Amino acid sequence: MNVLSNLEPAEVFQYFEEICGIPHGSGNTRAISDYCVEFARNHGLRCQQDAANNVIIWKEGTAGYEQSAPVMLQGHLDMVCEKEADCDIDFEKDGLELQINDGVISAKGTTLGGDDGIAVAYALAILASDTIAHPPLEVVFTVDEEIGMLGAAALDASPLRSRRMLNLDSEEEGYLLVSCAGGIATKAHLPINRETVSGQRIKLKVDGLQGGHSGVEIDKGRANACQLLGRTLYQMQDDVTFQICSVQGGLKDNAIPREATAELVLTGIKGTESGNPGGALSILSEKIKEWTGIYREEYQITDPGVCLTLESIGEGPQNDVVRPEETTKIMTMLQCLPGGIQKMSFAIEGLVQTSLNLGILKTTEREVTASFSIRSSVETEKKDLVARIRCLMESLGGSVSSKGEYPAWEYRQDSPLRDKMIEVFREQYGREPVVQALHAGVECGLFAGKLPGLDCVSYGPDMKDIHTPKESMDVESVRRTWEYTLEILKRLQ
């Protein structure tokens, strides 16, 4: 590609561009994992790859650092794969199309994967260098972080000696993350049965939303397309009669959905004896205009482009229609499932304490599922949200499953690493860094649980709109963060 070949630091952007050329979405990490193993072999470095595709690479300390305590550099290999509707990239086999404008890197029509490809690029550039001063290094690349930190959970940490860890998985320069929420991925299951029904088949679509990372942007007041779809369906029953064929929306449980759709069969007008699908479509078209105006008013600051559209697909017998009683259950589920911020922290001003995001809505032949990313810095509140979802689903004849649970990363009062990083930051930037707790999950909590006494800090360069096709990364911030990282390693003698 060579789009980034003129940027500095050259070695970092070289590796980042190579990474972007390899498909590495969550669940599709074998190729990027093998790339890291081949890198280690080519540089004569000891390496370990496990069955999950996690990779550990070791490098001895440089001259004068041979006896220093080891340091871990850590990031994840997978990226969130989101794209614009008109983008034809196949994330399973295609690389990204990089572009750079005014010192900002992005990918054409897709997510960039700076989260967390830049961490991998930093680490590989350090490992490849013969001139960078550093203690013994343990570089740990995990997989499937974006779908529940599955790689970190599966990692055998027994070979690791480091008790100091630099996690390069944050997206705001000048912020040192020292604590984060725990989380769990929870899926609601609602069984359905189908029948043949005659009527007007339509497609209802919600789009025009910003979306975003459910751990970072959940407090920005952005609309969730799946929830708006449910709200719209629930309102529709006051004016027309219909049955659902399918509801779909979102791609990742930790990404706020930007669009969602429902296919329906209109059967008549509410309160009338005889069916009139054509008249129902006319009434519904007017209501959709009204509701679009309401939603734009409600989200005029955060999602002014929100849009509802109707498309007529055809009329006549439809053989994949969900039965009336189960159509009602789908609407009840979508209207009543909790979403967004549930509680703010009273201990840390501005910090979201507990939230959940309905990130994936899917319909199969036999069930409708709603997948959530639940986050909380309070373990009991996290469990209570799972219980609330289970309570609703069981009352509707459904069920709940969970996976990928990870613990909260608790604040460490005594942190020599944090103190050293504050000192270096102050000298390099001439100001104080922001030391913060974050609602979004990072892998530090899992590593802290596996490695007693671990002292770790998460940081990174400026990135915007991660987990969306608007994702971007600032070149100068990458350079400054590189220099900051090298100075930290130099001071950890």
For 284-312, give the DSSP string: HHHHHHHHHHHHHHHTTTT-TT-EEEEEE
**Radius of gyration over every alpha carbon of the chain, rounded to an integer in angstroms:** 25
Given this model, what pLDDT does residue 447 score? Answer: 96
Indicate the residue type of 107.
A
Q: Which of 168, 39, 105 is nearest to 486 (CA)?
A: 168
Torsion angles phi and psi, residue 343, rounded to 5 = -160, 135
Given this model, what pLDDT does residue 413 score? Answer: 86
Query: Residue 136, Cβ neighbours under 10 Å: how many?
Result: 18
Alpha helices in 193-276 (DSSP H): 225-236
Alpha-carbon distance values, 70 to 365, 423, 491, 493 (Å): 53, 20, 13, 9
**For residues 317 and 265, is the Cβ–Cβ distance under 8 A?**
no
In which residue are the tokens 């609601």 written? 188
CA distance 201 to 257: 24
Torsion angles phi and psi, residue 276, rounded to 5 = -150, 70
Residue 52, Cα to own-chain centre: how many angstroms? 20
Structure tokens at 138: 């343990």
Domain spans of the chain?
A: 10-180+408-491, 185-406
CA distance 440 to 408: 10
Given this model, what pLDDT does residue 131 score? Answer: 96
CA distance 383 to 393: 15
Q: The domain 10-180+408-491: what is its CATH number?
A: 3.40.630.10
CA distance 116 to 105: 14
Catalytically annotated residues = 78, 145
CA distance 406 to 386: 14
Given this model, what pLDDT does residue 275 score? Answer: 75
Given this model, what pLDDT does residue 347 score? Answer: 77
3-state secondary structure of 101: strand
Indicate the residue type of 422.
I
Given this model, what pLDDT does residue 99 score? Answer: 97
Given this model, what pLDDT does residue 278 score? Answer: 79
Which region holds residue 467: left if phi is over 0, alpha if psi is between -120 and 50, else beta?
left
The helix, strand and coil proportions of the chain, stated in percent and rounded to the nearest 5, come to 30, 30, 40
CA distance 290 to 312: 19
Q: The domain 185-406: what is its CATH number?
A: 3.30.70.360
Indicate the residue type of 121.
A
From first to last of its 493 residues, the chain has per-residue pLDDT tens of 689 999 999 999 999 999 999 999 999 999 999 999 999 999 999 999 999 999 999 999 999 999 999 999 999 999 999 999 899 999 999 999 999 999 999 999 999 999 999 999 999 999 999 999 999 999 999 999 998 899 999 999 999 999 999 999 999 999 999 988 989 999 999 999 999 999 999 999 999 999 998 988 999 999 999 999 999 999 999 999 999 999 999 988 999 999 999 999 999 999 887 678 778 999 999 999 999 999 999 999 999 999 999 999 989 999 999 999 999 999 999 999 999 999 998 877 888 999 999 999 999 999 999 999 999 988 899 999 999 999 999 999 999 999 988 888 888 889 999 999 999 999 999 999 999 988 887 899 999 989 999 999 999 999 999 988 999 999 999 999 999 999 999 999 9
Given this model, what pLDDT does residue 329 score? Answer: 98
CA distance 337 to 356: 10
Given this model, what pLDDT does residue 272 score? Answer: 84
pTM for this prediction: 0.74
Alpha-carbon distance values, 205 to 94, 261, 304, 312 (Å): 28, 4, 16, 12
Element (H, E) at 115: helix 114-128
Q: How many residues does the chain have?
A: 493
Given this model, what pLDDT does residue 50 score? Answer: 98
Query: Residue 58, Cβ neighbours under 10 Å: how many?
Result: 18
Given this model, what pLDDT does residue 1 score? Answer: 60
Q: Hey, which residues does 74 pair with through a beta bridge?
A: 140, 167
